């Protein structure tokens, strides 16, 4: 059977957001068990929210897409804070912190570019 594809799945920013989600799941497996319902849960939910809001808004009206994209940006900023907390609590290394922040910066730039493109369309 042929795989069914949805239009938003071809977006590079969506794919990068999913890559970030994969990184978060991998890294939070090392967090202490007492963080399961605190930082781990929050970090996973925020990372998922980035990709989910890109998908949910894509293909909608311009104002609605921009609204979802802004929510995705808010979730992205939330992930920046989760990275900072994880580093300060010594759950992740300096290298891991930098890799996560680099991924977030990349997704942020791509999302901003997509938002600017959508805003400029007539």
Work out the end-to-end distance of the chain between its first and last CA atoms, rounded to an integer number of angstroms: 39
Measured CA to CA, the distance from residue 102 to residue 108 in angstroms comes to 10
Whether 70 is in a domain gets the answer yes
CATH number where 34 lies = 1.20.1440.60
* Distance, CA of 75 to CA of 92 (rounded, Å): 20
Model confidence, pTM: 0.95
How do residues 64-77 score in pLDDT, each as one tens digit? Answer: 999 999 999 999 99
Tens of pLDDT, residues 78-114: 999 999 999 999 999 999 999 999 999 999 999 999 9
| Burial of 26 per CB tally in 10 Å (0-12, 13-18, 19+) | exposed
Q: What is the dihedral of CA 20, 50, 83, 45, to 10 degrees?
A: -100
Q: How many domains does the chain have?
A: 1
Q: Does residue 3 form part of some domain? A: no
């Amino acid at each position: 059977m042929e795989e069914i594809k949805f239009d938003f799945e071809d977006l590079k920013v969506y794919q990068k957001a999913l890559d970030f989600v994969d990184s978060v799941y991998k890294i939070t497996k090392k967090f202490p068990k007492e963080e399961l319902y605190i930082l781990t849960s929050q970090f996973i939910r925020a990372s998922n929210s980035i990709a989910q809001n890109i998908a949910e808004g894509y293909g909608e009206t311009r104002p609605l897409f921009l609204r979802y994209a802004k929510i995705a940006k808010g979730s992205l900023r939330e992930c920046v804070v989760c990275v900072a907390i994880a580093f300060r609590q010594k759950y992740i290394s300096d290298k891991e912190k930098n890799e996560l922040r680099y991924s977030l910066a990349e997704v942020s730039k791509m999302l901003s570019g997509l938002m600017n493109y959508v805003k400029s369309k007539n």
